[in-house]
Amino acid sequence: MEKNTIKRRLPETYNSGRAIKVPSSYLNLIKQIREQDGKMETLRRAIRYKEENKLKEMGDLISRWRHIAQQLVVELQQKFSEVDNFFEEEDTKCNQDKPLKQLLQKLHIDPALVHYSEESDELLME
């Protein structure tokens, strides 16, 4: 069989057992398509890698934000504990033994966002 031929199976009525001559331009197109497919796969991998790194970067940023938020909550607790009657509203009297929880409630901060532990009334630092 020649270099630029493809043996194609034809229905029995047409099958003469001969190889069909394929133009070199067709073979070049097939080669170019395979090369482009390889480039596309490389680009897909690069995109997946970037997306994974963005998720990691976002996780790092969330950790940094949480750490700063925890520091601010602690500082606010210290400042507000100096102010008389700050925690003495009726809606927080049930949490008088947990001043950090009171502060989070008063500021409408979801305790889970800053990793607040209700058992120990403290923030779980990372």
- pLDDT bin (cut points 50, 70, 90) of residue 84 is low
Q: Could you tell me what percent of the chain has a pLDDT over 90? A: 25
- pLDDT bin (cut points 50, 70, 90) of residue 83 is confident
What average pLDDT does this structure show over 65-92? Answer: 78
Query: What is the rounded CA–CA span in Å between residue 112 and residue 119?
Result: 13
* Pair of tokens at residue 36: 């482009």
C-alpha 57: how far from chain center: 9
6 closest CA partner among 23, 31, 37? 23
Cβ contact 80:103 at 8 Å:
yes
Burial class (CB in 10 A: 0-12, 13-18, 19+), 103: buried
pLDDT tens per residue, range 6-54: 555 544 445 556 667 778 888 889 999 999 999 999 999 999 988 888 8
